[in-house]
């Protein structure tokens, strides 16, 4: 890893340094509670709360996990993702029913809606308890965690605009909602919602479009590891093809390899230097 990133607990501007640090926070969500608590303290957060719900079959997930850390200047909730194969198989199921979106806006993949709902009351109560010093508020997550972070940001904004998060950063996020909710996020979370996609990562291509859609604020990591704020259609197709040649013996594995959190961290770290 690069040298530790200095965290500005008060600023709310977009930066690659913040994107890298929130990616580290997303990666931390995969660790156990002791590791999360220790790292949060190193980052200057004196309070940590853990959120978890266990599911029973036939729900496709075993649990939903997240943590919230708070300082005098900043509150961050990071949602844990899941294994690439598990979420890929799940999202490939075209029979998944829609679920009414936050504030009655649009529709959401039912699995994401249920996963967030299972811990949302605890997250809300934690924010109500810890958000008392005009702190900045952030949601982040990788993979499934990215979908839940996006929904959390949308839900907070649509259900009580006064509490809108200052930023939502996701990594390898699948399509989470329909175009109506995506459009609402483009409007209400403009210049707050940033969706990082690493080259041929397979998960952001699922579930199929339509009926599912992405919000607009893409940050694309090209085959050379550069973060781009825009990419033409032809340029994107060429770059996707270049990524597939990275491993000529197993080109089909590129979509899974590009999804790993380590790949996102490596690319973002490279952009800082």
**What is the spatial distance between Cα 168 and Cα 192, in angstroms, rounded to a whole number?**
6
Q: Which two tokens stand for residue 188?
A: 């209400």
Strand order in the sheet with 227-228: 47-54, 63-70, 74-79, 136-142, 167-171, 193-198, 218-221, 227-228
**Residue ranges with strand state E in the chain:** 47-54, 63-70, 74-79, 98-100, 107-109, 136-142, 167-171, 193-198, 218-221, 227-228
**What is the spatial distance between Cα 136 and Cα 156, in angstroms, rounded to a whole number?**
14
Reduce the DSSP state of residue 71 to 3 states and report it: coil
Active site residue 13: no
Catalytic residue among 143, 223, 254, 263: 143
First vs last C-alpha separation in the chain: 12
Active site residue 201: yes
Contact (Cβ atoms closer than 8 angstroms) between residue 221 and residue 194: no
Catalytic residue among 26, 136, 178, 201: 201
Active site amino acids: 143, 201
């Amino acid at each position: 890893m690069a040298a530790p990133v200095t965290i500005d607990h008060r600023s709310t501007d977009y930066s690659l340094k913040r994107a890298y640090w929130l990616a580290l926070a997303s990666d931390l969500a995969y660790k156990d509670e002791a590791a999360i608590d220790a790292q949060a303290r190193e980052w200057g957060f004196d309070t940590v709360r853990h959120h978890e719900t266990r599911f029973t079959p036939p729900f496709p997930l075993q649990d939903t996990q997240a943590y919230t850390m708070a300082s005098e200047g900043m509150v961050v909730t990071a949602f844990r993702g899941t294994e690439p194969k598990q979420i890929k198989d799940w999202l490939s199921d075209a029979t998944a029913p829609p679920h009414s979106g936050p504030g009655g806006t649009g529709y959401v993949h039912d699995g994401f809606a249920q996963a967030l709902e299972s811990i949302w009351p605890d997250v809300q109560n934690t924010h109500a308890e810890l958000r008392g010093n005009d702190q900045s508020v952030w949601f982040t997550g990788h993979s499934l965690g990215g979908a839940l972070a996006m929904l959390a940001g949308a839900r907070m904004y649509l259900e009580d605009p006064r509490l809108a998060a200052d930023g939502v950063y996701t990594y390898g996020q699948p399509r989470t909602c329909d175009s109506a909710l995506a459009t609402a996020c483009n409007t209400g979370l403009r210049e707050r919602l940033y969706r990082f996609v690493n080259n041929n990562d397979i998960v952001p291509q699922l579930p199929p479009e339509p009926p599912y859609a992405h919000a607009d604020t893409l940050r694309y990591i090209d085959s050379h590891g550069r973060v781009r704020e825009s990419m033409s259609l032809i340029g994107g197709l060429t770059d996707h093809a270049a990524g597939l040649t990275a491993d000529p013996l197993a080109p089909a594995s590129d979509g899974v390899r590009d999804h790993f959190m380590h790949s996102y961290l490596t690319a973002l770290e490279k952009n800082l230097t």
